[in-house]
Amino acid sequence: MTRPDTHPLLSALLTEVEQRNPAQPEFHQAVHEVLESLAPVLVERPHYAEPGLVERLLEPERQIIFRVPWQDDQGRVQVNRGFRIEFNSALGPYKGGLRFHPSVNLGIVKFLGFEQIFKNALTGLGIGGGKGGSDFDPHGRSDAEVMRFCQSFMTELQRHIGEHTDVPAGDIGVGGREIGYLFGQYRRITNRWEAGVLTGKGTTWGGSAIRPEATGYGNVLFAAAMLRERGEDLEGQTAVVSGSGNVALYTIEKLIALGANPLTCSDSGGYVIDEKGIDVALLQQIKEVERGRVSDYAERRGSSARYVPGGRVWDVPADVALPSATQNELDADAAATLIQNGVKVVSEGANMPTTPDALHLIQQAGVAFGPGKAANAGGVAVSALEMSQNHARTAWTRERVEDELTQIMNDIHRTCHDTADRYGAPGDYVTGANIAGFERVADAMLEQGVI
């Protein structure tokens, strides 16, 4: 990996992180991307380079790993591994989702938790950074199996979380169904109605309006703000979206609402291209109600849609690209294809979906690029609004939450844009997001002493 060698402290720290955290390439990648941006701020404001500050930021406050035993429908005992990384609580209780996917390991959860610190800081809403999950794969499992797994997972996790301590939410493989089972078990064990301990709850029992939609809607609002900066809007633009889960679904919905034409969606088996634009109601029925695949969408949609097994959405020419599935899904080859096809904006709905090589190509080509820690912050922002509603024992209207989300995304865009300008990197939202997030957390850490 090339070193952020513009500042000797940062270069030394990256070497140390790699040595102390072996075999965690995604964590190294996430740290590298942030450290690479910080040189100008350490030069201009040298008190941030004081011994121990960045070192503390790179070390999670607490790392929890636990066994999750459960019985499948055949009565066999299955054993999974659970994780919760409580990375940084300088700005508020740890906050970040739970991911259930077979690829989950310590390095993945640490990269996600590290990103979450800066993302949450950018929202300005008083939430620290954390993340968790398990290598459990919900695909193909019955509702009863998912419930037993969630109950076992929460039986251990409950001792570490709380509305003032650590507040998990959903991520890959964890949606409304899983949050329901997790909350039920938390309530049973603790004998407390503590609504603020989890977000993404059902709206009849403490959930916020717009929480399921917030990440996808927020990313589209961020992409629209980047386009506005270039004197354009989303009306009439074509878009490629990857994924077909929570984030992808509501990205597609918002694109349509703003007059754009989303042409694709995907899952780990392949992708769909729909010349007429994705029919979001059909996709939602298949994914959320029937828990089906995008190949089912192509079969039922008729002649406008085609399923491409094993392919990638980045081969479809479009004005806007919104990766919304998983980390490192958009590599240099895909970036080169997007650029060749005239893409104007790439905005990350997923966390770290763009590889470092792809990012450099996109930035060199002058394409507007929204990094996930800014562009997909709408989800955690509305989670924080859910916590506020829970504290006040009230429920805001859909309109109010959507107005707040729009304001927050525009503020994050402005903060990243202006911070990049201030540090001599106009139009570079990666630098802007990393520095602005860092300044907020670093100031709080310095004021709170060496802990």
Q: What are the residue numbers of the active site?
A: 131
Q: Which two tokens stand for residue 379?
A: 């989800």
Say how far apart CA 145 and CA 414 lie, in whole Å.
Answer: 45
Residue with the shortest CB distance to ligand NDP: 245
Sequence-separated contacts (24+) of 280-286 with Cβ below 8 Å: 280/249, 280/252, 280/253, 280/256, 283/244, 283/249, 283/252, 284/249
What DSSP string runs through 385-447?
HHHHHHHHT----HHHHHHHHHHHHHHHHHHHHHHHHHTT-TT-HHHHHHHHHHHHHHHHHHH
Quick check: 347 and 324 in contact, CB under 8 A?
no
Q: Which stretch binds ligand NDP (CB under 6 A): 186-194, 265-273, 295-303, 436-444?
A: 265-273
Binding of ligand NDP by 117 (CB under 6 A): no
Nearest partner of 222 among 360, 322, 121, judged by Cα: 322
Return the number of the residue (247 or 445) whose C-beta is nearest ligand NDP: 247
Binding of ligand NDP by 96 (CB under 6 A): no
What is the number of alpha carbons within 13 Å of residue 400 lying toward its C-beta? Answer: 9
**82, 128, 168, 245: residue in contact with ligand NDP (rule CB under 6 A):** 245
Nearest partner of 224 among 257, 263, 246, judged by Cα: 257
The CA-CA-CA angle for residues 304, 310, 316, to 5°, reads 50
How many H-runs (helices) and E-runs (strands) does the chain carry?
A: 16, 13
Binding of ligand NDP by 171 (CB under 6 A): yes
Applying CB under 6 A, the site for ligand NDP has a residue count of: 24
Q: Which stretch binds ligand NDP (CB under 6 A): 146-154, 242-250, 253-261, 339-347?
A: 242-250
Q: Which two tokens stand for residue 439?
A: 């300044």
Q: How far is the CB of 215 from ligand NDP (least distance, A)?
A: 4
Number of C-beta neighbours around residue 366 at 10 A: 11
Say how far apart CA 9 and CA 346 lie, in whole Å.
Answer: 31
Q: Residues 23-62 vs ligand NDP: string with x where CB under 6 A? A: ----------------------------------------
Return the number of the residue (39 or 298) whose C-beta is nearest ligand NDP: 298
Q: Which stretch binds ligand NDP (CB under 6 A): 7-15, 223-231, 347-355, 429-437?
A: 347-355
Q: How far is the CB of 222 from ligand NDP (least distance, A)?
A: 12
**24, 120, 134, 244: residue in contact with ligand NDP (rule CB under 6 A):** 244
Q: How far is the CB of 254 from ligand NDP (least distance, A)?
A: 14
Q: Which stretch binds ligand NDP (CB under 6 A): 187-195, 273-281, 345-353, 425-433?
A: 345-353
Q: How far is the CB of 349 from ligand NDP (least distance, A)?
A: 6
Say how far apart CA 258 and CA 227 lie, in whole Å.
Answer: 13
Q: Which stretch binds ligand NDP (CB under 6 A): 239-247, 337-345, 425-433, 441-449?
A: 239-247
**267, 274, 386, 402: residue in contact with ligand NDP (rule CB under 6 A):** 267
What is the number of alpha carbons within 13 Å of residue 192 lying toward its C-beta? Answer: 11
Binding of ligand NDP by 218 (CB under 6 A): no
Binding of ligand NDP by 237 (CB under 6 A): no
Return the number of the residue (155 or 246) whose C-beta is nearest ligand NDP: 246
Binding of ligand NDP by 253 (CB under 6 A): no
Binding of ligand NDP by 350 (CB under 6 A): yes
**325, 362, 381, 435: residue in contact with ligand NDP (rule CB under 6 A):** 325
**379, 384, 390, 437: residue in contact with ligand NDP (rule CB under 6 A):** 379
Could you tell me which residues come within 8 angstroms of residue 29 by beta carbon, excluding any fewer than 6 positions away? 1, 111, 352, 356
Say how far apart CA 204 and CA 188 lie, in whole Å.
Answer: 18
Q: How far is the CB of 101 from ligand NDP (least distance, A)?
A: 6
Say how far apart CA 87 and CA 92 lie, in whole Å.
Answer: 11
Say how far apart CA 5 and CA 3 lie, in whole Å.
Answer: 5
Say how far apart CA 171 and CA 250 lie, in whole Å.
Answer: 14
**108, 121, 221, 247: residue in contact with ligand NDP (rule CB under 6 A):** 247
Residues at the interface with ligand NDP (CB under 6 A): 101, 170-173, 175, 215, 243-248, 267-269, 324-326, 349-351, 376, 379
